[in-house]
Amino acid sequence: MKFIVSSSYLLKQLQVLGSVINSNNTLPILDNFLFELDNNELTVSASDLETTMSATLSIDSTSKGSVAVPAKLLLEILKTFPEQPLTFTVEDNNTVEISSNSGKYALAYAAGEEFPKSVNLEDPSVTLVPADVLATAVSKTIFAAGNDDLRPVMSGVFFQFSPEGLTFVATDAHKLVKYARADVKASQVADFIMPKKPLNILKSILGSSDAEVKIEYNDSNATFSFDNYILMCRLIDGKYPNYEAVIPKENPNKLLIDRSLFLSSVRRVAIFSNKTTHQIRLKIAGAELNVSAEDIDYSNKAEERLTCDYQGDDLQIGFNSRFLIEMLTNLQSDVIMLEMSLPNRAGILTPADGLEEGETVTMLVMPVMLNS
């Protein structure tokens, strides 16, 4: 088994796949890349049992076979090469020899058969989504997903597909983000919960792709295929909470404000907030928004006044500044709208401009009780 490949091309592909590999694997074989050679096609795979990703590379070869090569060692050596062709040869003494312009390097390999086989989806449903739409949907929602191991369903992003459009939701019970597209549709109604790790991997590579992503899914697994990649992952088992019930429908108090102005104000004032609650207070009356925070234990306090466009009753409401900052950072628009009903009901943040046709973003943040 022998093949020739460009060093930088191989490194670029392996760095993407390397993000699948865990630092402490239960099975030693998972510390390897699986190389499967079929003449001019080389398929490289990486897996952590939950997520498996493979890339197909065009190379120069006339042989077939499969070997598992130590991932960390291979990535380390590839990073040091200038661009050049490398020749990989599988020797009889259980090593893979890499020949470069300047020398030879031998790595011990394991048999390719030991590598876990990827699952074949039987009779999957299929939806096609443009790469940029999926990348935006993931980056807009993933930050709101929870980290609580006791509530695994909330630690992923909820995908809802229907002939009306696609909806992506993430929540950790304190904040919720719903991203919807009416311009991309699925042929049938389906929903599933995607774990964070494969989504982060997708987010990092979809941005530079203009392909269509083919999403295939059944009750337990989903596969994303685009360009020369296939990412397969196990879905989170369970029923997603009824998020629609949490979004308040009647919000008579509407505040319009410049996003970057509001964001920098919240950032500054938050420095003076209590280090455990991160609480900031919004006091709105007329066209004036008063943003304040106080840490009574240390006698630190801050207050800022901003002008805004406000329709509704005078209101005082408290929020966790970290959630507010995350959401405002994640919105791209120049002007945002904050809709509220009562100081103990969730506030809803939406972009007032800068959305594409058929795109809606709704962010919900739970208030914190104000100690008067």
The ranges assigned to domains in the chain are 2-114, 125-245, 248-365
Model pLDDT for residues 122-143, shown as the tens digit of each residue: 889 999 999 999 999 999 999 9
pLDDT at 253 over 80: yes
Q: Please give the pLDDT value at position 207.
A: 79
pTM of the shown model = 0.92
pLDDT at 40 over 70: yes
- Give mean pLDDT, residues 7-21: 96
Q: Please give the pLDDT value at position 342.
A: 93
Model pLDDT for residues 315-365, shown as the tens digit of each residue: 999 999 999 999 999 999 999 999 999 999 999 999 999 898 999 999 999
Q: Please give the pLDDT value at position 209.
A: 79
Q: Please give the pLDDT value at position 372.
A: 60
Rg for the chain (alpha carbons), in Å?
25
Alpha-carbon span 165 to 241, nearest angstrom: 20
Topology of domain 125-245 in CATH is DNA Polymerase III; Chain A, domain 2 (3.10.150)
Q: Do domains 2-114 and 248-365 have the same CATH topology?
A: yes
Q: Please give the pLDDT value at position 208.
A: 76
Q: Please give the pLDDT value at position 186.
A: 92
pLDDT at 370 over 90: no
Assess contact for 157 and 169: CB atoms under 8 A.
yes
pLDDT band (50, 70, 90) for residue 49: very high
pLDDT at 119 over 90: no
Model pLDDT for residues 291-319, shown as the tens digit of each residue: 999 999 999 999 999 999 999 999 999 99
pLDDT at 219 over 80: yes
Task: Report residue 346: phi and psi, to 5°.
Answer: -60, 145
Task: Report the chain's mean pLDDT, rounded to a whole number.
Answer: 95
CATH 3.30.1950.10 corresponds to the domain 2-114: no
Assess contact for 88 and 20: CB atoms under 8 A.
no
Alpha-carbon span 106 to 112, nearest angstrom: 17
Q: Please give the pLDDT value at position 304.
A: 98
- Give mean pLDDT, residues 193-210: 91
Residues forming a β-bridge with 165: 162
pLDDT band (50, 70, 90) for residue 13: very high
Q: Please give the pLDDT value at position 210.
A: 84
Model pLDDT for residues 82-115, shown as the tens digit of each residue: 999 999 999 989 999 999 999 999 999 999 999 9
CATH-assigned architecture of domain 248-365 = Roll (3.10)
Percent of the chain having pLDDT more than 90? Answer: 93
